[in-house]
Structure 1
Amino acid sequence: MKVYLSGEIHTDWRVQIIKGCDAKNLNVTFISANTDHEASDAAGDCLGEESTAFWRDHKSAKVNAIRIHHAIKTCDLAVIRFGDKYKQWNAAFDAGFCAALNKPYITLHDESLTHPLKEVDASAQAWAISPEQVVEIIAYSINP
């Protein structure tokens, strides 16, 4: 199974899921957007300098989209994490892209975000509140 890990980059939830799947000897390959914030912001810098932040961000978003669109289109499942410290608009976009492509996804967030993410959760196949729950869903999906 190929799993795309999307969203919040400030905690180790990705590592927890990867280690949890490894501990269960699950045949899973993980892919992700660039989780190095500064490198992601600079993805479009190879196209030339910009005088405004808008155009730098615009170019970098487009370059990052190459990787992200490929990852979502080729994954079997996406896990989309929403943290409480920052707004992950990119994660909401990824969830919408998954829904549009009919790709199954799991949202991962705490209960405080249930109301603001109600539409995102409504299209998800599951809502988890911990990486351990995500591991259990992946395990079940591979070995029912």
Structure 2
Amino acid sequence: MELTVYLAGQIHDNWRDQVAEKAKEKKLPLHFVAPQTNHDLSDRIGEDILGKQPNSIYRDDAASSVNNLRTQVLMQKSDVVIALFGEKYKQWNTAMDASTAITMGKPTILVRPESLIHPLKELSNKANVTVETVDQALEVLAYIFE
């Protein structure tokens, strides 16, 4: 059995590559999907497909429509979602993806540092499991195969 894992969270560093490498080291049968991590492509995809938009509001709206469709398709095909909340970046997209996963009934693992316990308490309460590190999230997934 192989699980497809949607990795929700900020796109400004290579945390997803680190998760995939650690999963490979543990020989976990996991396949990973994620939001578009090419930030420039994500921002311009609406105009790439629909053409030049009249202003930045319409540009963002066109891009978000395409990105939301992509996220919905990949998340629906996923078996489990890991949503990483870090301290460095604003986490609006992560919160939206985690909420969507929970609403879709997807098993959801929240990864958040201790400093975010209070602001994420309701979301954490709705997730299946909340941990503080991606290593702990992988241990949760490894337990599925025990």
Global fold match (TM > 0.5): yes
Look up the match of 1:135: 138
Q: CA RMSD in A?
A: 1.1
Contact 1:5–1:79 under 8 Å retained in 2: yes
**TM-score, normalised by the number of residues in structure 2:** 0.92
After superposition, give the CA deviation of every residue in 1:51-96 in whole Å (9 maximum; x if it has no partner).
3211101000000111100111111100011121221211111111
User: Identity over aligned residues, as a percent?
Assistant: 36
Partner SS state of residue 115, structure 1:
coil
Look up the match of 2:107: 104
What pairs with 1:78-97 in structure 2 (closer than 5 Å)? 78-97=81-100
Look up the match of 2:73: 70
User: Aligned partners of 2:44 and 2:114: how far apart in 1?
Assistant: 33
Amino acid corresponding to residue 9 of structure 1 in structure 2: I
What pairs with 1:3-14 in structure 2 (closer than 5 Å)? 3-14=5-16
Amino acid corresponding to residue 119 of structure 2 in structure 1: P
Counterpart selection for 1:124 from 111, 123, 127: 127
Note the residue ranges of structure 2 that are not aligned, 5 or more in a row. none
Amino acid corresponding to residue 108 of structure 1 in structure 2: V
**Larger relative contact order, structure 1 or 2 (CA cutoff 8 Å, min sep 6):** 1
User: Aligned partners of 1:84 and 1:52: how far apart in 2?
Assistant: 32
User: Aligned partners of 2:51 and 2:106: how far apart in 1?
Assistant: 35
Look up the match of 1:19: 21
Amino acid corresponding to residue 10 of structure 2 in structure 1: E
Deviation at residue 10 of structure 1 after TM alignment: 2.1
The count of aligned residue pairs is 143
Note the residue ranges of structure 1 that are not aligned, 5 or more in a row. none
**TM-score, normalised by the number of residues in structure 1:** 0.94
Contact 2:10–2:93 under 8 Å retained in 1: no
Counterpart selection for 1:43 from 41, 45, 70: 45
Change (3 A) 1:86 1:107: same
